Structure 1
Amino acid sequence: MQERKPRQIARELALLSLSQLPTNPKKLTEEQLPKLVLAAVRTLRSEVQDTLDNAAGELQRSNDRLLTSETRASDLGTARNMLKEAVTYTQAAINKLGAAIEFPELIQLANQDKEVAHYAIAIVRTVNENQTLIDAEISQALIDWQVNRLAQIDRDILRIAVTEMRFMGLDPRMAINEAVELAKRYSETDGHRFINGVLRRVTEQKQPVKSS
């Protein structure tokens, strides 16, 4: 597993934090921002437990199918099908465990590395304070679509990328690359291609704007 840098972890934390905001959020106070990020960390802990529980369930189903294939299969073909099902359940469990392994790293860094928390809070703050401008830029880059019709995860990934490149001084190419990586982890199968296309159009639109 490739080790991720603090700012990569911070982006994931910011993404999880933004997902907890209402559709039309009010301006957050400086006291609310850390609490929102803390809530995101708690959500991660719950996700880890749920993932492990699901993996345990898949393994139990695999074990049940193996036992059934040995004791109740009426012929070789039926036994083979049951074994295939057992392998499928086992693979599903392995995939879930693979996802769960990465979460503790994120939780630990979020709790112990000040840069992670500070950068995550800075992203959430900037998105919250400039959402109208950010969404306007995204809207201009969308073809026959509207920001409020995007899947929330894609919308928030786009917001984070535009925030970093327009307000936080991140090189646009780096912002796009980081957004694509986020999309590969959290969006649908082809979400990263969509994110890449929209952000490339954003960078072609105009020069960076300044926060009021």
Structure 2
Amino acid sequence: MKKSLRYLREIILKILYELEINKMSTLGSLLERYGEHMHEEDLEFIKVRAEGIVENKVSIEKLLDELSVEWPTERMVLTDKLIMEIAIFEINFLGLSPSIAINEAVELSKLYGTEKSYKFVNGILSKVASSKKS
């Protein structure tokens, strides 16, 4: 049974989080574990994003650092940073509408961040959307 796109983004967040905190984990093993009982299209959605974010992490974090001048990525709440990485990848590499990516990121940050996370995420990603237009 196919899952909602928000649920799939939650899985991506969990995979990225585990990669950050558990240096023994590999992307391949996590994709295998999370995708074990998943519809093929859902697994492909997760795989494209997770692999793309990992491959482009340096440029995504560089953009985040440029846009959040007063709050560098190393000081960010990890879940906030990872949620924004998903949205930035979707906007800049997959061409997803910024409004959709930002909305999804804000909703994820309400679930997984602090009580102020969604405002921070929205503010930074709004800058991403603005930089995309220019």
- TM-score past 0.5 threshold: yes
- Within 5 Å, give how 1:40-119 maps onto structure 2: 41=34, 111-119=37-45
The percent identity for this pair of structures is 30
* Equivalent residue pairs, number: 131
Counterpart CA distance in 2 for 1:170 and 1:110 is: 27
Counterpart CA distance in 1 for 2:3 and 2:104 is: 11
1:165–1:171 Cα contact (<8 Å) kept: yes
2:61–2:73 Cα contact (<8 Å) kept: yes
Distance 1:205 1:198, change over 3 A: same
> TM-score, with normalisation over the residues of structure 2?
0.85
Q: Which residue of 2 aligns with 1:55?
A: none
Counterpart CA distance in 1 for 2:92 and 2:100 is: 12
Q: Which residue of 2 aligns with 1:155?
A: 81
SS of residue paired to 2:19: coil
Counterpart CA distance in 2 for 1:110 and 1:180 is: 28
Q: 1:124: Cα distance to partner?
A: 0.9
Cα deviation 1:5-40 (Å, max 9, x = unaligned): 5322211110000011147x8xxxxxx54421344x
Counterpart CA distance in 1 for 2:123 and 2:67 is: 9
Residue 17 (structure 1) aligned with residue 36 (structure 2): no
> TM-score, with normalisation over the residues of structure 1?
0.56
Q: Which residue of 2 aligns with 1:130?
A: 56
Residue 37 (structure 1) aligned with residue 31 (structure 2): yes
Match of 2:68 among 142, 150, 157: 142
Distance 1:131 1:159, change over 3 A: same
Match of 1:182 among 108, 124, 127: 108
Q: 1:167: Cα distance to partner?
A: 0.6
Where do 5+ consecutive residues of structure 1 fail to align? 26-31, 42-108
Q: 1:113: Cα distance to partner?
A: 1.8
1:33–1:121 Cα contact (<8 Å) kept: no
Amino acid at match of 2:7: I
Q: Which residue of 2 aligns with 1:8?
A: 6
Higher Rg of the two aligned structures: 1
Where do 5+ consecutive residues of structure 2 fail to align? none
SS of residue paired to 2:92: helix
Counterpart CA distance in 1 for 2:31 and 2:10 is: 11
SS of residue paired to 1:111: coil
Q: 1:203: Cα distance to partner?
A: 1.5
